[in-house]
Amino acid sequence: MKIGFIGFGEAAYELSTGLKGEGIDHILAYDPVWNHPTYGALVQERARLAQVELLKTSEEVLERANILFVAVPANKALEVSDSLKPFLKKDCIYVDVSASGPDVKRKIQENVQVKEVSFVDAAMMGPLPVYKHKVPILASGNGTDAFIDHMSPYGMEISKVSDNPGDASAVKLIRSIYMKGVAALFIELLEAAHAFNVEELVIGSISETMNGRTFEQTMNRLVTGTSIHALRRSIELEGSIEMLESSKINSLMSKAAKEKLQLLSDFNLKEKFQGKTPATWLEVIEAMECKV
């Protein structure tokens, strides 16, 4: 078995380093900047360290590889699949690890299956420098089963989501709403806490509220409670926004939260639930869907 990479940035480097350690001898790679005056040296050094054969054209990689990892920026993934399509070998497994959205992943599968190539939408769910090839991967698409069969013996942690391309990426992108969003919210909160010199009190108070429950319990409590108190809580955020703005602190996240709560209040869920807090977050989301 020969592994090929199109794009040899950090993701490809970490994956190939791990796979080399598992005993895969033949790993090939092509990166369009392999001879770039600024970036070429880094690509070549990574290939040397990972003991990967760096080739000068993508066609050479496609000619020899059985499993092809395409590790390019999300905004280039579809374009790259178009450029690779004429050179794809029948029965190759095309694994797209970009952060492209579900629509793009579906179009890529349509693209490559014309050449009788199976496709895998692979969403990497952890830090590659930590996990390398053992990074948890969610996979979907018509090549998922074969991908798992080929790569699990080499220590890759792959979980099948479905046969539908885009489903794995949807999980990752939806997860990112929280992971990236909460990081931005933390920054706004900490800016304010530091400006007022109350960091310890604020962090301690939130910790006391959050630490006693699991993430799912906390999420359920906040969503169900907010569903019937959305209007009041959006109004309460006005005070936070005014405080931030008077202190010359950007209030973007607080304003966005206020707007989302105002939209939620338009569903009149307090009336629908007769003033009683629903039992689960699912009741809230389904009630919102009924209004749409």
- State pLDDT tens for residues 222-235: 999 999 999 999 99
The percent of residues above 90 in pLDDT, for the chain, comes to: 98
Q: Summarize pLDDT for 254-264 with one digit per residue, the tens.
A: 999 999 999 99
Q: Is pLDDT at 292 greater than 70 in this prediction? A: no
Top pLDDT among 292 and 90 is at 90
Residue entry with tokens 């948890």: 136
- Considering the four listed CATH numbers 3.40.30.10, 3.30.499.10, 2.40.30.170, 3.40.50.720, the one that applies to the domain covering 3-163 is 3.40.50.720
pLDDT band at 291, cuts 50/70/90? low
Q: What is the mean pLDDT of residues 10-16?
A: 96
| Rounded CA separation 78/210 (Å) | 42
The model's pTM? 0.88
Top pLDDT among 20 and 290 is at 20
Q: Identity (one letter) of the amino acid at 34?
A: W
Q: What is the mean pLDDT of residues 147-160?
A: 98
- Considering the four listed CATH numbers 1.10.1040, 1.10.3470, 3.30.450, 3.40.50, the one that applies to the domain covering 171-291 is 1.10.1040
Where do you find CATH 3.40.50.720 in the chain? 3-163
Average pLDDT of the chain to the nearest whole number: 96
Give the residue among 131, 138, 126, 203 at the shortest CA–CA distance from 166: 138
Q: Which two tokens stand for residue 198?
A: 């109350």
State the pairing for strand pair 67-70/3-6. Answer: parallel
Residues of 59-71 as b/e, b for ≥16 C-beta within 10 angstroms?
Answer: eebbeebebbbbb
Q: Summarize pLDDT for 47-86 with one digit per residue, the tens.
A: 999 999 999 999 999 999 999 999 999 999 999 999 999 9
CB 89, CB 57: distance < 8 Å: no
CA-based radius of gyration for the chain: 24
pLDDT of residue 290: 83
Which phi and psi angles does 179 have, rounded to 5°? Answer: -60, -45
The percent of residues above 70 in pLDDT, for the chain, comes to: 99
pLDDT of residue 278: 96
Where do you find CATH 1.10.1040 in the chain? 171-291
Q: Is pLDDT at 241 greater than 70 in this prediction? A: yes
pLDDT of residue 233: 95
